[in-house]
Chain A
């Protein structure tokens, strides 16, 4: 990251009774970046966000904003705003009332408040809805009111907890594009929680993957997709085949792995010693059908269990000799194999990666 760090999370731990919700998380957020927190339900994403917003205090570690410790500062005095998963719109206030709520305490004079309110109404495309109550709005409109309300104070960082979770698929996709565009235009740092990996991949500059309270990996979408830090990340981001085996030889960049049935394959490796039980990750699109009788490296014998025509390619499910299921995405033109047919799958050692 070449830009300046705005939020620094240092070895933060949060416990609820005996349960550890967030475990020793360290993370730097750069000014103006769009960061997505991704992970299964209950892994501590909301808890981490709530600590940044000030609704929970960490048990250990510190959270800094522009180098100053935030711990002990109440939420109302943190220059950040949050958009809640349930939107948390004030039911007894109109659209204008909701958006202006934070402006009334922002140290702006009346004229500036009115100008900012008008600006937010325009940005959120809520013209004509100013005097409606939240109960009189559609889901998409409510979502925009919540966003406008959270942005009205021009926060340094906007925290979004599953902001699109309640929208249906098509609305969600158009809103994603709007959100990305808005973030780029305002230059505000966005930290967004989502459990939709496609959403994270398409929106984020960087993705952080959490598991059971720990931050497993943080990096660009390409980084986490191509170089997952663990089996968990590999399986969580995109579709992945994880082929179990044991390292038998280690070279600087590659490792040789023996599978249970004796087949030997080669893959890129950053960690692992001979004798280690590992998994080789191969993405479905990196597997291809090879003619069965042509010998070569990185060949896997398999039996087709199902196929599906996708228009631009064929999705194949096959079973390896070890009994493991494997997914292949063969590109257009390839002849569609039949169910039960014995096939040989090939992949480049470059496209395979050892994960532990």
Chain B
């Protein structure tokens, strides 16, 4: 970027834009430190809401459910998404390759309500009892495309002669993949995993469709509570979620920027 000066108009527009985007989020964080039980009245600073979280059994159980689902679905989505990226980039020309590449974007743009509804129909048709497993499956379908897109971008720039060099030096195809390819695309795979993890942790719509009794996720719990009135506790949980997501996104950005070699060159 050039050091061109921002005009007052630009500064105002930028400030308003940022305020519009992050103002509400900031408000949530501020009110999570409210000493009052009422969401809209500021009664002084307190960390009581955060301390109260640990004693809230329903909330802790929802958090635990969410984390379990996020971990499992992110792992599955990462493996499947990476394999899909390998097939799309490396598989040569196979029937429907263009179509599959295009289909990757569908989960990204399809309204989640539609995805949720179709999954619900599927689960009912298969007579799958709804619970944590079905929520995890739903999250895998969503997150896999993200992983594939991220890994695919990295694979396209991958120099295949590196794999050939490994083979030439005595490595089997599998050894070459795990010893050379995977370490080099690891930042993208890691970024994909984190994206999948946050997508699962954040999701409300798909979870609402796919969950059953006893599989309430954290966003579902927060949403349910908020409908009865926003408390500092809800604000505190939301603030923690915001922090987790922000941290993940920063990590993902750093991972994606990381160039093999350049970053290893300490």
Are these two chains actual partners, yes or no? yes
Q: Select which of B165, B169, B261 is within 8 A of A105 by beta carbon.
A: B169
CA distance A153 to B169 in the complex (A): 8
Q: Which partner residue on chain B sits nearest A136 by CB separation?
A: B265
Q: Which partner residue on chain A sits nearest B264 by CB separation?
A: A133
**Residues 43-71 (chain B) with a chain A CB within 8 angstroms:** none
B162 within 8 A of partner (CB): yes
CB distance from B42 to the nearest CB of A (A): 52
A-B contact count (CB 8 A): 75
Q: Select which of A76, A92, A135, A149 is within 8 A of B171 by beta carbon.
A: A76
Residues of B within 8 A of A134 (CB): 261
Residues of B within 8 A of A74 (CB): 167, 172
A82 within 8 A of partner (CB): yes
Given known contacts A55-B164, A88-B159, A135 and B264 CB-to-CB distance under 8 angstroms: yes
Find out whether the CB atom of A91 lies under 8 angstroms from the CB atom of B261.
yes
A interface, size bucket: 20 to 34
Q: Which partner residue on chain A sits nearest B182 by CB separation?
A: A92
Residues of A within 8 A of B159 (CB): 86, 88
CB distance from B3 to the nearest CB of A (A): 30
CA distance A106 to B183 in the complex (A): 22
Q: Select which of A82, A91, A153 is within 8 A of B170 by beta carbon.
A: A153
**Residues 99-150 (chain A) with a chain B CB within 8 angstroms:** 101-102, 104-106, 133-136, 149-150
CB distance from A184 to the nearest CB of B (A): 24
- Mark each residue of chain B from 158 to 182: 1 if its CB lies under 8 Å from any CB of chain A, else 0: 0101101111111110010001100
Could you tell me the dominant secondary structure of chain B's interface residues? helix
Residues of A within 8 A of B261 (CB): 91-92, 133-135
A84 within 8 A of partner (CB): yes
Q: Select which of A55, A101, A135 is within 8 A of B169 by beta carbon.
A: A101
Residues of A within 8 A of B180 (CB): 90, 92
CA distance A230 to B260 in the complex (A): 48
CB distance from A175 to the nearest CB of B (A): 20
Q: Select which of A91, A101, A133, A135 is within 8 A of B184 by beta carbon.
A: A91
B262 within 8 A of partner (CB): yes
Q: Which partner residue on chain B sits nearest A82 by CB separation?
A: B168
Find out whether the CB atom of B260 lies under 8 angstroms from the CB atom of A92.
yes
Q: Which of B172, B175, B264 has the most CB of A within 10 A?
A: B264
CB distance from B171 to the nearest CB of A (A): 6
Find out whether the CB atom of A105 lies under 8 angstroms from the CB atom of B170.
yes
**Residues 53-95 (chain A) with a chain B CB within 8 angstroms:** 53-55, 74-76, 81-82, 84, 86, 88-92
Q: Which partner residue on chain B sits nearest A94 by CB separation?
A: B264
